[in-house]
A and B are shown apart, each in its own frame.
Chain A
Amino acid sequence: MNNITYLLLFFFILLSTKAYSLTDCNNADINNTCIQVMVKNKTGELLKDVVVYLEPLDGQILAKQSEKVIISQVDKSFAPYISVSQVNSDVSFANKDNITHHIYSVGGDNNFSFKVRAGETNSSPTFGHTAEVAMGCNIHDWMSGYLLVVNTPYFDKTDEQGVARFNITEKGSYNVIVWHPQMQSENNRIQKKVIVSASAVISFQLNNQMADIPLQENDEDFDFLSDY
């Protein structure tokens, strides 16, 4: 991933934090409870881009998250690598490259397959159930991406400090789940049950060493069609 991608990512996070207050813990609202979830790897290092989400256990009614999720294809790779969306949310696949991608997912309930041309966006797949959706491109074998479909609006990925923040309005017990496709844990997740009453910091430490996050690169590096 090059610097531009990181830069874009940062802007998006900024945008999403501005529009969405659920993860903003700076609001000193007395009704808000700020839960901070910290994820460390087995050796104690803070991990970023690990999905954290909270599932209500007491039947709390949660507002639906309204932001759209955009999964881009940039430089023949999924950006971001991991995306999270709530059930029935809109998910768009935006092709930022100048070539066609054939995006698909098989082997689950959410099988989809479509071609998206350069610069176009496809929003055809719908995700009505919670699922781990593994995605690939049929043309570019090395492309790999994940979409975690959750049934809660409270989801986020840890930031550079390895922290994900949630502004919980509905108090009660929640299941705090940490998920990453390379986590090497059962079902790729570890979880904790937490009673949300006041602001708290929850730490997770992985039991196993994380697997390498695949580099989405063509190891052949053919260049005979420079405009391909």
Chain B
Amino acid sequence: MKSLQNKIFLFFVLLLLMVQAIALWTLYSGNQNQEAAEINNRLTTAKTIFTELFHRRLDYLAAFAETAAKDYGLKEVFNDDTRSLLVALNNHRKRIDADLVMAISAEGLITGQLQRNFINNERSKINQGLERGTQFRFIDWLDSGQSSHLYIIDESLYQLSLSPVTVGTKTLGWIAFGFQIDERLAIEFMNITNLKTDFIIKSGTEWRLVASSSENAKSTEELALSETVIQGIIPEKYIATHSLITEFDEQELGVVMYGLRANFVALLQEQWWRFLILAALTLFVSLTSAYLIAASISRPIKRLVAQAKVIASGDYQQTITLHDNNEIGQLADEFNHMQAAVLQREEAITHYGNHDPLTDLPNRNALNKLLKSRTEQEKPFIILHLNLSRLKDVNDTLGHDVGDEVIKELASRLHSLYQKKGIEELLHLGADEFVLLANSIDTHINIDETVAQIQAVLEPVFDYQGISLQLQVRIGVAISPEHSRAPKVLLQMADTALHHTRDTGKLVQVYQSDLDVNTVERLNLINDLKKAIPAGELELHFQPKMNLKNRVVTHVEALVRWKHPTLGMIPPDDFIHIAEQTGQIKALTRWVFTTSLAQFNTWKTLGIELNIAINISAENLKEADFYDFICQALMCANVPAAKVTLEVTESSVVEDPKSAIKLLSQFKERGFKISIDDYGTGYSSLAQLKQLPVHELKIDKSFVQRLEQDIDDQIIVRSTIELAHNMGLYVVAEGIEDKFSLSWLTDHGCELAQGYYISKPKPAIELTPWLLAQLNIEETKDIM
């Protein structure tokens, strides 16, 4: 019911029905009015006609009576014998075909009377009247001026006119003529007016039917009907009018004219039927057209709706054609325009989605698609990830506008290589990052050639508004399928290689697996590390440091090991770095600290008392509450500070020497032992070393491991030991792996030694028996 088509159709239907109803009602009421008016008209006319006819007859009679009364011939015989008088009367009567003629003497005696009597409907005969010789009943008529009257003789009713017969002024008598009011008149009247006519007369109190135009009518019924009409009550099925002719002598003649309503309205009814049929027909036709109109409106709309759906689904290619020239056709045109516009915009958006706004080169999205297709096609290719050097400097000093110009210049220069010499694709990943895809017939030659081309193209100085800028790029290279078949991984590798150039200062770096620091694994590790401490995945291993003089283990170094549930044992080199970079070193160090102190106490109960060395990172030194925590932990564990060594690397001090020194001094003040770890490998200065409040110096294992083979190492180690001693420090050598190193270091005065040769780092559980064994040997030595 909600559809537009149905709505329009219904609306039309309702409208049409309403219009038709109004029209019909108007017609009907008009019809009714017309009917009533017609009937009224008819009746009024009939009444008027009757009145006229009636009075004309009377006037006629009166005029004739007057004329006849003046006739000398009549005057001569008026008082004569009956026969002459009757003949004279009849002569006059014939002239107007009167139904009654009378001669009345001056005394009021009816001297002559002639009446028409009907034998049957057609034939009549003139006979002497019944009243001849009798006194005229209405003497007062004779004296009055009025000459016209209604006169009854037995059952017959006459219109009568009197006129005096005079000699000069002397009245001889009267002469009267009459027309009968009977069926003839009624029928004559009916023929004129087409209404049935009844004459009824009332002399006294009751009405009597005198004549009726209806043949074979039951007089009682006619009389009854006429009486009611006279009283003004007209039965529904009739139309009627009446007229009363009153006599001053209290006779009343009533004329009733009536007809069946149905007869009169029959014609109008017929008309009415015709109207109805016409109305029905027009209604039908208009409804059909309404339906068609509704359909014709909604059909193109439906098509447009369908088209809209097609567009919504993303198909911009199909256009819609409507052959209407009207608004809907316009709408369809606009639809198509819109569609084209949408398509255009979509293409633009797609373009912008796949191209960099600044250089209009394909961007990262395009790159992903390209790589995907190439790897799917299994075509070998080379990715060169280019980074524009020092762009940040340009932006900062000359502004971003200039920076953008530089980028655009680089793009255009690289574009000159596009499609040449094996460079198949040029992409701009944004800002200072570009990617070239080259084919790889001969990988390494290609790389070198390509790089040379790039260098060549970038060599000319870029002159921008008087400023000379040199374009320089660093390139990270990855090869498919050699390095990987997966696009993402390839990109990652190129990226890693690029990063490596930053570290090494080289301009080109081809990916090697050992560059891989940033693996996904690494990211996972970061997350896992957060959970590792509470999960108990971390384990503290201890590596003993042996006193070379008496071959007694006096120190241990606490080393954290991570037992990853899936990856297994992860060496600290990997995750310490991560921990430092992700701010988890704090938690880590604290855990190490508390665990170590607990272990100290455990060993103490067993009679083992060792100094535990704990590694501290640069991050730890930056912590505000680090000192407080350490001391707190110490006090809680009730461990003397002298039994704890804090190992810091040279490089960790470098960042902020002043505060590092200050903190370390605090620790030293407190009684902790401070150790410089990995001495010789990091950034260091002797000036710094001089300032650091250290007790111990640890020579990195790289110098110790090949002590037997490497003379240079021996020189370095020996010098370092001497230097340390001169500065008042004692030395720990790391990485002793053979007996030679052990004895050589002992010979050269190294105080402590740490290495696999002595013991691997082991968990406390494992180390404790070894330690106990060592002590026993000592004890036995002492005993012995």
Kindly state the separation between the CA atoms of A135 and B170 in the bound complex, as whole angstroms. 8
> Is A104 within 8 A of B167, CB to CB?
yes
What B residues does A144 contact at CB under 8 A?
167-170
* A202 CB, nearest partner CB in chain B, Å: 28
> Is B168 within 8 A of A135, CB to CB?
yes
Kindly state the separation between the CA atoms of A104 and B170 in the bound complex, as whole angstroms. 12
Q: Does A19 contact B (CB under 8 A)?
A: no
Which parts of A143-169 form the interface with B (CB within 8 Å)? 143-146
**SS class of chain A's interface: helix, strand, loop or mixed?**
strand
Say whether, besides A138-B72, A141-B70, A106 and B166 are in contact (CB < 8 Å): no
Binds A, one of B74-82, B721-729, B769-777: B74-82
What B residues does A134 contact at CB under 8 A?
167-170
Q: Which partner residue on chain B sits nearest A138 by CB separation?
A: B72
- Residue-wise, chain B 159-175 has the 8 Å CB interface mask toward A (1 for contact) of 00000001111101000
Count B-side interface residues using an 8 Å CB cutoff.
12
What B residues does A73 contact at CB under 8 A?
none
> Is A106 within 8 A of B76, CB to CB?
yes
**SS class of chain B's interface: helix, strand, loop or mixed?**
mixed
Kindly state the separation between the CA atoms of A88 and B407 in the bound complex, as whole angstroms. 176
What B residues does A106 contact at CB under 8 A?
75-76, 78-79, 167, 172
Name B168's contact: one of A102, A111, A113, A143 (CB within 8 Å).
A143
What A residues does B169 contact at CB under 8 A?
134, 144, 181-182, 214
Q: Which partner residue on chain A sits nearest B80 by CB separation?
A: A106
* A35 CB, nearest partner CB in chain B, Å: 30
What B residues does A143 contact at CB under 8 A?
168
* B195 CB, nearest partner CB in chain A, Å: 41
* A139 CB, nearest partner CB in chain B, Å: 10
* B182 CB, nearest partner CB in chain A, Å: 35
> Is A104 within 8 A of B72, CB to CB?
yes
Q: Which of A78, A104, A106, A113 has the most CB of B within 10 A?
A: A106
Q: Which partner residue on chain A sits nearest B168 by CB separation?
A: A144
- Residue-wise, chain A 177-191 has the 8 Å CB interface mask toward B (1 for contact) of 000011000000000
What B residues does A107 contact at CB under 8 A?
75, 78-79, 167, 170, 172
Q: Does A56 contact B (CB under 8 A)?
A: no
Q: Which partner residue on chain A sits nearest B106 by CB separation?
A: A107
What A residues does B72 contact at CB under 8 A?
102, 104, 113, 138
Q: Does A80 contact B (CB under 8 A)?
A: no
Q: Does A86 contact B (CB under 8 A)?
A: no
Kindly state the separation between the CA atoms of A78 and B169 in the bound complex, as whole angstroms. 12
Q: Which partner residue on chain B sits nearest A139 by CB separation?
A: B72
Q: Which partner residue on chain B sits nearest A108 by CB separation?
A: B79
Which parts of A164-219 form the interface with B (CB within 8 Å)? 181-182, 214
What B residues does A113 contact at CB under 8 A?
72, 76
What A residues does B170 contact at CB under 8 A?
107, 134, 144, 146, 181
> Is A145 within 8 A of B168, CB to CB?
yes
Q: Which partner residue on chain A sits nearest B79 by CB separation?
A: A107
Kindly state the separation between the CA atoms of A135 and B167 in the bound complex, as whole angstroms. 6
What A residues does B166 contact at CB under 8 A?
136
Which parts of B64-90 form the interface with A (CB within 8 Å)? 70, 72, 75-76, 78-79
* B112 CB, nearest partner CB in chain A, Å: 15
What B residues does A136 contact at CB under 8 A?
166-168
What A residues does B79 contact at CB under 8 A?
106-107
What A residues does B167 contact at CB under 8 A?
104-107, 134-136, 144
Q: Which of B75, B169, B172 has the most CB of A within 10 A?
A: B169
Kindly state the separation between the CA atoms of A209 and B70 in the bound complex, as whole angstroms. 29
Q: Which of A107, A113, A143, A182 has the most CB of B within 10 A?
A: A107
- Residue-wise, chain B 30-49 has the 8 Å CB interface mask toward A (1 for contact) of 00000000000000000000
- Residue-wise, chain A 112-125 has the 8 Å CB interface mask toward B (1 for contact) of 01000000000000
Kindly state the separation between the CA atoms of A134 and B79 in the bound complex, as whole angstroms. 14
Q: Which partner residue on chain B sits nearest A142 by CB separation?
A: B168
Kindly state the separation between the CA atoms of A106 and B72 in the bound complex, as whole angstroms. 9
* B625 CB, nearest partner CB in chain A, Å: 158
Kindly state the separation between the CA atoms of A145 and B167 in the bound complex, as whole angstroms. 9
* B76 CB, nearest partner CB in chain A, Å: 6
Which parts of B150-198 form the interface with A (CB within 8 Å)? 166-170, 172
* A100 CB, nearest partner CB in chain B, Å: 14
Q: Which partner residue on chain A sits nearest B172 by CB separation?
A: A107
Kindly state the separation between the CA atoms of A144 and B72 in the bound complex, as whole angstroms. 15
What A residues does B76 contact at CB under 8 A?
106, 111, 113
What A residues does B168 contact at CB under 8 A?
78, 134-136, 143-146, 214
Q: Which partner residue on chain A sits nearest B73 by CB separation?
A: A138
Kindly state the separation between the CA atoms of A78 and B72 in the bound complex, as whole angstroms. 19
What A residues does B78 contact at CB under 8 A?
106-107
- Residue-wise, chain A 70-101 has the 8 Å CB interface mask toward B (1 for contact) of 00000000100000000000000000000000
Q: Which of B76, B78, B79, B168 has the most CB of A within 10 A?
A: B168
What B residues does A181 contact at CB under 8 A?
169-170
Q: Which partner residue on chain A sits nearest B71 by CB separation?
A: A138
Q: Which partner residue on chain B sits nearest A213 by CB separation?
A: B169
Kindly state the separation between the CA atoms of A113 and B72 in the bound complex, as whole angstroms. 10
Q: Which partner residue on chain B sits nearest A188 by CB separation?
A: B170
Kindly state the separation between the CA atoms of A171 and B280 in the bound complex, as whole angstroms. 116
Kindly state the separation between the CA atoms of A166 and B18 in the bound complex, as whole angstroms. 109
- 29 example contacts (A-B, Cβ-Cβ < 8 A) are as follows A102-B72, A104-B72, A104-B75, A106-B75, A106-B78, A106-B79, A107-B79, A107-B170, A107-B172, A111-B76, A113-B72, A113-B76, A134-B168, A134-B169, A134-B170, A135-B167, A136-B166, A136-B168, A141-B70, A143-B168, A144-B167, A144-B168, A144-B169, A144-B170, A145-B168, A146-B170, A181-B169, A181-B170, A182-B169
Q: Which residues of B contact A (CB under 8 A)?
A: 70, 72, 75-76, 78-79, 166-170, 172
Q: Which residues of A contact B (CB under 8 A)?
A: 78, 102, 104-107, 111, 113, 134-136, 138, 141, 143-146, 181-182, 214
What 9 new A-B contacts, CB under 8 Å, besides A104-B167, A144-B167?
A: A104-B75, A107-B75, A107-B172, A113-B72, A138-B72, A141-B70, A145-B168, A146-B168, A181-B169
The 8 closest A-B pairs by CB, nearest first: A144-B168, A134-B170, A136-B168, A136-B167, A134-B167, A144-B169, A107-B172, A214-B169
